[in-house]
Structure 1
Amino acid sequence: MTQKPMIFPTFFLSGFECSTFDWKDQGRRDLVEETQHRSHADEDYRFLASLGLGVAREGIPWPLVERGAGTYDFSPVESFAAAQKRWKVTPIWDLCHYGVPDSCDPFDDQFANRFAAYAAAAARWVLEQQPHGPWFFTPINEISHFALMGGAWGWCAPFRKSAGDRRRLGMALAKADIFAAKAIRAVIPEARLIHIEPLLHVVPPRDRPDLAEAAHRAECVEPYEALDAIAGRTHPEWGGSPELLDIVGFNNYAFGQQEYKPEGGPYPALKPDDDRIVPVFDLILRGYRRYGRPIIIAETSGLKGGRDDWFRDLLLECMAAVNSGVDLHGICLFPGVDMPSWSEGGWLHNGIADLEELPSGTLMRKPCVAYVQELRRWQRKLKRVESLDEDPLDTPVELQDIVEAAREWKPRPDPDWY
């Protein structure tokens, strides 16, 4: 059988919500604290290991570890590193997951240099915790969405509300991402870099065909502006290159299929029975062909009782993409434990485990049984591990079983996929 080496130790990944934005009406937030993931780190990583999920996205929160320009304290993430080591889970370190320090202005000329200095310090800390690879980093998560939230919608700092500021913020973040990627590689030359953006499908209102071009820009131009810069296709003076666009991650949620509105976003999600919905296969294929880099689904989840159905349907769309030549190296079931709605409060019930508050205030982890059962079913069908052994990195992991399964099943893209 032809061998196809996999980048990660397991095909199914997970991760933890780690946003640290300065939110419009609530100030600085720490989603890790809100989910009690920091104090439950050992339990949470043991849970992932028991499910055979050997890779987890985890944050090193810039606003919490930087004590001043050039001064860093990584104690807020020490429990994560210890738990990863104990349970043999390989981290993907997010260095900026929605949030910059209070004293930091993304529009300042020195922003990229300041972020790069922090990224280098974070890489040195990671190397101390994890002397042997592989090492994975996401410098800045979802630049295009961060630019919308902070540049166009005023949801989080820097609280701007214009199309021009959206683009300025996005480009400032892209430049900082490039500088940080180079700083990480200066410390760890073998580091793998994962750049993550959402998969979007945006349509004009049925009665406004004149908005088709604007909807196309929102779908096919704006979400890729940062990746184009990182790849060196635009702003070559920043030093982007295909080498830096190492691995591309695409996030997929139901609200990624939207109807454009001229007064600005966020755009409303299409209802599940809308005939304008396209197969997610189409979106994966478009993103992959644009860059030709290895990809992962970097976040995906359904809600409440639909999580198992979502996972099954999304996986079949992914298998159709593999059958069309997409170099897919993983699907990240995100988050591993539930998370609160950013703006409305309350739990989203989108994790592999839900959270239930006990009288003591402790958030008890309760696995979603149907979701776990669906994961187990696909691990068996795809010949993936169902729990981690003592050394998940001791032998190369091959993707060929997945390629062969896709060929055998011949899944067809489905516009009614969710």
Structure 2
Amino acid sequence: MTASVLRSFWIGGFEGADHVNGAGEPLDMAAATAHLELLNGDYLRAREHGLLTVRESIGWRLSEPAPHRHELARAVQVATAARRHGLQVVWTFMHYGTPPDVSLFDDGLVERFASFAAAAARALAPLHDEPPVYNLINEIGYVAWAASHTNLIHPYVGDPQGLGEHTEASGYDVKRRLVRAVLAGMDAVRAVDPRARFLHVEPLVHVVAPHERPDLADLAERIAGYQWQVWDLIAGRLEPQLGGHTGALDLVGVNHYHSGQWEAGTERRLRWHEGDPRRRPFGALLQAAWERYRRPLIVAETSHIGVGRARWLDEVASEVANARAAGIPVEGLCLYPLVDRHDWGDPAHWHHSGLWDVDHDTPLPRHRRLVPDYAAVLTQWQARLPGAPPLPIAPPVPEPLPESRANGVVPCTT
């Protein structure tokens, strides 16, 4: 086995969220960006820019229209196109959306997701010559918080008074349930394809007390600590009775955006473009994750908006290069999204965050426009990263499956 499970260090991510937004509008972002229609062109462009690994989403909501009826032809189509272009796909199985009869607040989700994960792995296994890499549930921490404490995901009303989004709670009960679903899904996938590797993706964040409220320092530390809950549960560091264990935490995927650093209490962001001195360097965030888990890291999502895209990538790549030089095994860096996307809550608002912008003067944005300065920085850094390979880290040894989990029963005491 080589040092990395990825075909290329540089990764391109295609937006694939499929949840129902707070206005009750079902999303299919891969279709809305015309990615499905332009699949061959998008893959050809990715390959021409040295991106031999891509992130795609299957979409649980889209792929299970009725209980236990799995429609995976679209995923097979995407996998076949990627294979034709010599690309490796890192698959997300659940990108926020669930089938309409599945609730994030119901334990029945665990078995249903495991069944879906097995079906998806069965459909994709013949199309992978190398061990497949699966992100079973994307950003558990985000979806748990959004469903529990905001009105961003239909039908959940976590903010009935409309007080606005706040980060003082984490949606912990939903996190626990989704972690149980991931653990059951890993067992189900390995039963189908023992080669499978698993990428667990969460944001890295930094939270500080406002200048005028130093008494909120403890609150800031507590909120920042929420970022570790999902990985700790998967690794069995927290509530091991849920079934987590060290062998389950395979690849640690970290997301890094400018909005991921803020003040406790006020929710004011530490503005990157204004050079807020309280911001924590990305390299320090990577070091914290490495020291906590000692597992290979992949920057699973990063990008900025508008004119800041090139400078953002230059800074992120520099931090990653320094981290690798210090011995931290960062094995990949994903530009996400590769093709621009519109806002989940407003289809008329496009973020201008992709390597390619799109023209949206037609119902589907079919024309891609390369962002020259962003592409130039990518090319410059591709000559320097990955550089010398990190030391190989063996994949974790799967824990023997307890009889209770083999039967779909997960003990829970709280």
TM range, normalised to the smaller chain?
0.7 to 0.9
Residue number among 225, 228, 233 corresponding to 1:229 in the alignment? 233
> 1:330: how far off?
0.6
Query: What amino acid sits opposite 1:133 in the alignment?
Result: E
Identity %: 32
Structure 1: any 5+ residue segments left out of the alignment? Answer: 385-397, 402-418
> What secondary structure sits across from 1:243 in the alignment?
helix
In structure 1, how many angstroms separate the alpha carbons of the residues matched to 2:390 and 2:175?
A: 37
Query: What amino acid sits opposite 1:366 in the alignment?
Result: R
Query: What amino acid sits opposite 1:178 in the alignment?
Result: L
Residue number among 252, 259, 265 corresponding to 1:261 in the alignment? 265
> What secondary structure sits across from 2:46 in the alignment?
helix
1:346 aligned partner: 349
Whether 1:61 aligns to 2:67 is no
The answer to whether the 8 Å contact 2:22/2:155 transfers is no
Query: What amino acid sits opposite 1:335 in the alignment?
Result: P
1:170 aligned partner: 175
- CA pair 215-121 structure 1, distance change in 2 beyond 3 A: same
> 1:40: how far off?
1.1
> What secondary structure sits across from 2:171 in the alignment?
helix
In structure 2, how many angstroms separate the alpha carbons of the residues matched to 1:107 and 1:245?
A: 24
1:154 aligned partner: 151
In structure 1, how many angstroms separate the alpha carbons of the residues matched to 2:288 and 2:386?
A: 28
1:186 aligned partner: 191
> What secondary structure sits across from 2:99 in the alignment?
coil
Query: What amino acid sits opposite 2:180 in the alignment?
Result: K
Whether 1:273 aligns to 2:271 is no
- CA pair 18-379 structure 1, distance change in 2 beyond 3 A: same
Query: What amino acid sits opposite 1:260 in the alignment?
Result: A
> 1:164: how far off?
7.0
2:4 aligned partner: 6
In structure 1, how many angstroms separate the alpha carbons of the residues matched to 2:217 and 2:34?
A: 44
In structure 2, how many angstroms separate the alpha carbons of the residues matched to 1:29 and 1:253?
A: 22
Residue number among 275, 285, 289 corresponding to 1:283 in the alignment? 285
> What secondary structure sits across from 2:383 in the alignment?
helix
Query: What amino acid sits opposite 2:358 in the alignment?
Result: L
Query: What amino acid sits opposite 1:308 in the alignment?
Result: A
> 1:69: how far off?
2.1
- CA pair 77-214 structure 1, distance change in 2 beyond 3 A: same
The answer to whether the 8 Å contact 1:151/1:166 transfers is yes
Residue number among 368, 385, 401 corresponding to 1:365 in the alignment? 368
- CA pair 362-317 structure 1, distance change in 2 beyond 3 A: closer
The alignment's C-alpha RMSD in Å is: 2.0
Query: What amino acid sits opposite 1:269 in the alignment?
Result: R
After TM superposition, list the pairs within 5 Å mapping 1:15-54 onto structure 2: 15-54=13-52
Query: What amino acid sits opposite 2:228 in the alignment?
Result: Y
If the length of structure 2 is used for normalisation, what is the TM-score?
Answer: 0.87
In structure 2, how many angstroms separate the alpha carbons of the residues matched to 1:8 and 1:258?
A: 32
1:399 aligned partner: 389
1:313 aligned partner: 315
The answer to whether the 8 Å contact 2:302/2:336 transfers is yes
- CA pair 297-360 structure 1, distance change in 2 beyond 3 A: closer
The answer to whether the 8 Å contact 1:117/1:180 transfers is yes
The answer to whether the 8 Å contact 2:169/2:223 transfers is no
Whether 1:238 aligns to 2:242 is yes
Query: What amino acid sits opposite 1:268 in the alignment?
Result: R
In structure 2, how many angstroms separate the alpha carbons of the residues matched to 1:133 and 1:183?
A: 19
Residue number among 341, 344, 358 corresponding to 1:355 in the alignment? 358
Whether 1:375 aligns to 2:392 is no
The answer to whether the 8 Å contact 1:13/1:54 transfers is yes
